[in-house]
Chain A
Amino acid sequence: MGVLKVRDLKWKYKEGKEVLRGVNLEAEKGEFIGVVGPSGAGKTTLALALMGIIPQRIPGTFEGEVIVCGLNTREADVSEITKRVSIVFEDPETQFVMSTVEDEIALGLEVRGLEPYEIRERMVWSLDLVGLSKDFLERSPLELSGGEKQRVAIASALALKPELLILDEPTSDLDPIGKTEVLNVVGKLREELDLTIIAVEHETEALARYADRIVVLVDGRVVLEGDPRRVFSKAKYLESVGVRPPEVTKITMELGLNPPAITVEEAFSKMCSFKPKATLKRRDVRRTSRGGKILLKLENVSYEYPNGVQAINEVSLEFKAGEFVAIVGPNGSGKTTLAKVACGLLKPTKGKVLIEGLDVGSLTRRILAKKIGYVYQNPDHQLFNQTVQDEIGFGLRVLGLSEKDINEKVLRMAERLGLKGLLDEHPFFLSKGERRRLALASVLVMEPDIIIVDEPTTGQDYKLNLDIMNILEDYRREGRTVIVISHAIPLVVRYATRLIVMLDGRVISDGSPYEILGDAEVVKKAHIQVPQTRRLVKMLEKTLNTKIEAYTPDEIIDYYR
């Protein structure tokens, strides 16, 4: 039975470009559809159109037809549609309205006129489905971990007993633990409820496990559709449009092992029977490089917030010129606090932070800005000028450079980061990817010796992520230190010379990506998301009794070719 029918859907935001350009999509009862696509492809717009929020609540031009659970989204009121369709958004913070889990779930049920006992029953039922006990009812959503927040959001959507559940990038803001928690719930829903699920997701590896069908949306159109194996086997095409296929699919495709694998286990069964033909051909010297002179040193640094939370505890680290360091660890492990202490934004409650031998506290803001830069996770927090040109030049003006020097440097940086044609634009009219590059440009232009970038890849497509990481890699090559705080291990191991693992405010491991990812205890303790390639390599190493030093699909392909 058809739950969803989208026919030639076109949508143009008022005073904006056409975002959906003739989307056709159908879903059967109980089907799980994964929607993938680059940033700006129209995925969230499509999700809003399935709820009827587009065109009923957002102004714009709508063409075509969306029939969801028998309701035409142009005719039936949104409140009617929401009785059959629920949605979970990307950001767990902004979708919470109330201050307790109980109120949050009750909110959607009260307007349906359910009796209090029924509301209570549904609360307990939905929390149980997402693996949370009823003790969570009294908790504040702000106290929960990222994964718990998103599970509560799913519970409040499920409590409405929808026929269609839409998940709009539910894991993109989460750390590896949160991702695992949410994906386990999705798997459970798939098994236990006869629910139709449409999941917009960048995590193709998870979709390969759960989805019946994958829909690839590019530039407002469905360009590819089919079962995961069929769709992900177009690995080269997917990469070209900004979608990262599962690593094992790419590996088996490149090695000519058809049909390609979509899980690690499948890849292993295809590859375990033959030995690698060579040792590593392109040994990346960065993996063993220990960098140059020490630029930043933390000596027994601790930081306690005024509310008594001990965010970092007795941390001692050294960062050298030419290093590309990734700091990883679950949310709340102290990564961002460590970065703020290093930048002098927070004064350590104990210990010392030295930049080139000088105490951070003794340096003025101007001097510090030349030595260490910090790029925030959300670019919107650090864009406050009227034009892109002013934004990039802001820091240089504060440093007191001449207008001629400022203009030269701004132009060079804009060109380097692909912002040259946008210099007169207002920063807030740029796309998310452009805003992120602008935020990076506004700090890079000051040429700090060390740059710390907080979660540079969250909520972006693969292509944009590679762009940002390549820019940072170029910066490192100039002899600077790049420190990245990230959960995206598969991406950072391509670039990082060193991984620092944090847990509960302490550094629990510090070494090369190979050392860290090979340490099962650390990986387990810090819930590190081990890339598919490393999981496959580990299985192969065990079976073939040989050491394979590969972190990325390209490196393992080299071994076997």
Chain B
Amino acid sequence: MYQSRSIFHELLGIPAEWSIYRQLHPFSKIIIPLFLSISLFLVNNVLSAIFLFSYVLAIFLLTKIPLKIIKKYLLIVLSLSTFIILSIFMFTPIQEGHVLFKMTLLTLKAEKGTVSWGVLITDKALLKAFVYISRIWIMIFTAITLLGSLSDREIIWGLRSLKVPYSMALALALFFRGVGLFLKDFQIVRDSMMVRGLDVEKGSLLLKFRAYIYSLVPLIVLMIRRSQEISLALESKGISLNAKTRVLYYKMDFKKLDALFILTTVVVLLVTLYFGSSGV
């Protein structure tokens, strides 16, 4: 069965294999990540984190999006995780629980007493860090699942079935297309600076910052010109802000599999709520 290019395929050139999940109704492919995002707020402890993460990972694997995509986010997750761990162990130490490691780095003696600062690792602090990091991974896997399983036309059908006006659904689909063009333009603008002697790759941070500022001018102008051209192309097809569609070319049926996936996700949301509030 034919499956159209996902947003990720368009933007990053990473295609996904044929998968059952991608055959779901676009409505399901929008609503499932939405429920998962809501569930994320209910993750309060290790059990709820492990439970939700396992489900999100299972869905992600079902989409058959290549795992190499994770590499692109590894640096972000690692830096965020480091930041979380350092802030929990060093700046907002959790005194409760069993102390696993303690080290004082600085002691200041004043008239009114002594102030000390250092590293405190307790089992509770470790679990808290685990929950926070799990949340980041859940967020990333959910976003990849959404963008890696939906194509621009599916965004339109999915949002249309959620009763979102046609023009708004189209605008969102166009937004993702615009991101791709923006990235392409950015690369060319950057290269054109390098041709004129500005070493953006090897230069200092200040130089890189200056280069970004410079590139804003052409990028904004190109964006405005492109959006004008695209809006003219749309107008010439008879599509305007108040355009209404009586029919849709594609008629996708809502299948039992859709119901199964949505129902399972709702159950996962409820169980996460239960686990999250159980204090385990």
Residues of chain A touching chain B, judged by Cβ–Cβ distance below 8 Å, are: 48, 51, 53, 57, 78-79, 82-83, 86-87, 89, 91, 94-100, 103, 106-116, 119-120, 138, 140, 142, 156, 160, 307, 340, 343, 345, 364-366, 368-370, 373-374, 376, 378, 380-386, 394-395, 398-399, 428, 442-443, 446
Quick check: B217 and A384 within 8 Å, CB to CB? yes
Quick check: B238 and A100 within 8 Å, CB to CB? no
With contacts A97-B234, A381-B218 taken as known, whether A340 is within 8 angstroms of B191 at the C-beta atoms is yes
Some 14 contacts from A to B, beta carbons below 8 A apart, are A53-B236, A95-B233, A97-B230, A99-B10, A111-B237, A138-B4, A160-B237, A160-B238, A364-B199, A365-B202, A374-B192, A376-B188, A378-B188, A398-B196
Expressed in whole angstroms, the minimum distance between the Cβ of A417 and any Cβ of chain B is 16
In the bound complex, what is the Cα–Cα distance between A100 and B235 (angstroms)?
Answer: 19
Expressed in whole angstroms, the minimum distance between the Cβ of A150 and any Cβ of chain B is 13
In the bound complex, what is the Cα–Cα distance between A107 and B245 (angstroms)?
Answer: 10
Quick check: A365 and B197 within 8 Å, CB to CB? yes
B110 at the interface (CB under 8 A from A): no
Q: Which 7 A-B pairs have the closest CB atoms?
A: A369-B197, A108-B237, A382-B192, A82-B238, A395-B196, A398-B197, A365-B199
Q: Specify which of B13, B166, B202, B235 lies most central, judged by the most chain A CB atoms within 10 Å of its CB.
A: B235
B20 at the interface (CB under 8 A from A): no
Quick check: B191 and A345 within 8 Å, CB to CB? yes
- The residue of chain A having its C-beta at the shortest distance from the C-beta of B174 within the complex is A97
Expressed in whole angstroms, the minimum distance between the Cβ of B182 and any Cβ of chain A is 12
Complex interface bits, B221-259 against A, C-beta within 8 A gives 1, otherwise 0: 110011001101111111110011111111100000000
Expressed in whole angstroms, the minimum distance between the Cβ of A129 and any Cβ of chain B is 18
Quick check: B238 and A79 within 8 Å, CB to CB? yes
With contacts A97-B177, A100-B153, A384-B214 taken as known, whether A53 is within 8 angstroms of B235 at the C-beta atoms is yes
With contacts A89-B232, A446-B196 taken as known, whether A99 is within 8 angstroms of B191 at the C-beta atoms is no
Could you say which residues of chain A place their CB within 8 Å of the CB of B215?
A: 384
Quick check: A376 and B222 within 8 Å, CB to CB? no
In the bound complex, what is the Cα–Cα distance between A90 and B42 (angstroms)?
Answer: 52
Q: Contact check: which of A79, A99, A384 meets B177 at CB < 8 Å? A: A99
B143 at the interface (CB under 8 A from A): no
Q: Contact check: which of B152, B188, B194, B243 meets A98 at CB < 8 Å? A: B152
Could you say which residues of chain B place their CB within 8 Å of the CB of A381?
A: 185, 188-189, 192, 218, 222
Quick check: A113 and B197 within 8 Å, CB to CB? no
B2 at the interface (CB under 8 A from A): yes
B5 at the interface (CB under 8 A from A): yes
Quick check: A394 and B196 within 8 Å, CB to CB? yes
Q: Specify which of B177, B229, B233, B236 lies most central, judged by the most chain A CB atoms within 10 Å of its CB.
A: B236
Quick check: B243 and A138 within 8 Å, CB to CB? no
Expressed in whole angstroms, the minimum distance between the Cβ of B164 and any Cβ of chain A is 15
Could you say which residues of chain B place their CB within 8 Å of the CB of A399?
A: 197
In the bound complex, what is the Cα–Cα distance between A151 and B89 (angstroms)?
Answer: 62
B173 at the interface (CB under 8 A from A): yes
Quick check: A48 and B199 within 8 Å, CB to CB? no
Interface residues on B, range: 35 or more
In the bound complex, what is the Cα–Cα distance between A235 and B245 (angstroms)?
Answer: 50
Quick check: A111 and B243 within 8 Å, CB to CB? yes
Could you say which residues of chain B place their CB within 8 Å of the CB of A383?
A: 217-218
Quick check: B196 and A116 within 8 Å, CB to CB? no
- The residue of chain B having its C-beta at the shortest distance from the C-beta of A105 within the complex is B249
Quick check: B151 and A366 within 8 Å, CB to CB? no
Could you say which residues of chain A place their CB within 8 Å of the CB of B192?
A: 374, 376, 381-382
With A89-B232, A376-B188, A384-B215 known, 19 other A-B pairs at CB within 8 A are A51-B236, A78-B238, A79-B243, A82-B238, A87-B236, A99-B10, A99-B151, A103-B152, A111-B237, A114-B247, A116-B248, A366-B197, A368-B197, A376-B192, A380-B225, A383-B217, A385-B217, A398-B196, A398-B198
Quick check: B243 and A446 within 8 Å, CB to CB? no
Q: Contact check: which of B152, B170, B193, B226 meets A99 at CB < 8 Å? A: B152
Expressed in whole angstroms, the minimum distance between the Cβ of A512 and any Cβ of chain B is 29
Q: Specify which of A111, A140, A376, A382 lies most central, judged by the most chain B CB atoms within 10 Å of its CB.
A: A111
B108 at the interface (CB under 8 A from A): no
In the bound complex, what is the Cα–Cα distance between A83 and B267 (angstroms)?
Answer: 49
In the bound complex, what is the Cα–Cα distance between A113 and B248 (angstroms)?
Answer: 8
Could you say which residues of chain A place their CB within 8 Å of the CB of B249?
A: 106, 109-110, 116, 119-120
Expressed in whole angstroms, the minimum distance between the Cβ of B114 and any Cβ of chain A is 55
Could you say which residues of chain B place their CB within 8 Å of the CB of A112?
A: 238
Expressed in whole angstroms, the minimum distance between the Cβ of B12 and any Cβ of chain A is 10
Could you say which residues of chain A place their CB within 8 Å of the CB of B225?
A: 380
Quick check: A345 and B2 within 8 Å, CB to CB? no
Expressed in whole angstroms, the minimum distance between the Cβ of A411 and any Cβ of chain B is 19
Quick check: A110 and B248 within 8 Å, CB to CB? yes
Could you say which residues of chain B place their CB within 8 Å of the CB of A365?
A: 194, 197-199, 202
B195 at the interface (CB under 8 A from A): yes
Could you say which residues of chain A place their CB within 8 Å of the CB of B198?
A: 365, 398
Quick check: B221 and A380 within 8 Å, CB to CB? yes
Could you say which residues of chain B place their CB within 8 Å of the CB of A307?
A: 13
- The residue of chain A having its C-beta at the shortest distance from the C-beta of B234 within the complex is A97
Quick check: B195 and A343 within 8 Å, CB to CB? yes
Could you say which residues of chain B place their CB within 8 Å of the CB of A443?
A: 195-196
With contacts A57-B235, A78-B238, A107-B239 taken as known, whether A382 is within 8 angstroms of B194 at the C-beta atoms is no
Quick check: B251 and A108 within 8 Å, CB to CB? no
Could you say which residues of chain A place their CB within 8 Å of the CB of B173?
A: 97-98
